[in-house]
Amino acid sequence: MKNEATASELLNLLNSAIARELQVCKQYMLQHAIGSGQESAVPGKTPRAEQTRFVASHSPYWLPGASLKKIAITEMTHAEAIAERVVLLGGEPTTQPEAITIGKTASEMLENDREQERRAIELYRQIIGVAGKEHDDVTNKLFQQILSDEEKHHRVFSDLLGGG
């Protein structure tokens, strides 16, 4: 990177991305676990069988447990890749996630999760712009790939809320 101020800006943005990825990874996994646990408590249903079914199926909002868990794992791999990039750029990756918000209802969870993905899309477009200005093709390519995943996650939550 040529411009030290831009390099610092990029590292700050990358650490914001790590904090966000750590947040949603934990948030989505906890939502999955809570929903699976609530469903498992229904009389006559076995906990193991319910873990493969749907989270929050007691409401009009269906949150596929397996999909939520997969998204959480994807977010974890994003955090790892971004942290590696921060180190390669000479920075120190953050260990602190943004605030985790679980939500009390399936609707709250989905609305919040969709908003988290919208914010990620906005942040990652900003990172792509800064990386482009710095001619950092590796960071640019990494965030193009991550952005694609985040746009898919946003669509999943939008579809579940009926907002396609």
Question: Which of 11-20, 32-41, 64-73, 147-156 shows the lowest mean pLDDT across its residues?
Answer: 32-41
Q: Look at residues 124, 118, 123, 115 and name the one whose alpha carbon lies nearest to residue 145.
A: 124
CATH number of domain containing 112: 1.20.1260.10
Q: Look at residues 16, 104, 106 and name the one whose alpha carbon lies nearest to residue 57.
A: 106
- Domain of 77, in residue numbers: 4-160
Reported pTM: 0.82
What's the pLDDT band for 164 if we cut at 50, 70, 90? low
Question: Which has more confidence, 42 or 31?
Answer: 31
Classify the C-alpha dihedral 9-10-12-13 as positive or negative. positive
* CA atoms of 103 and 74, how far apart (whole Å): 21
Percent of the chain topping pLDDT 70: 76
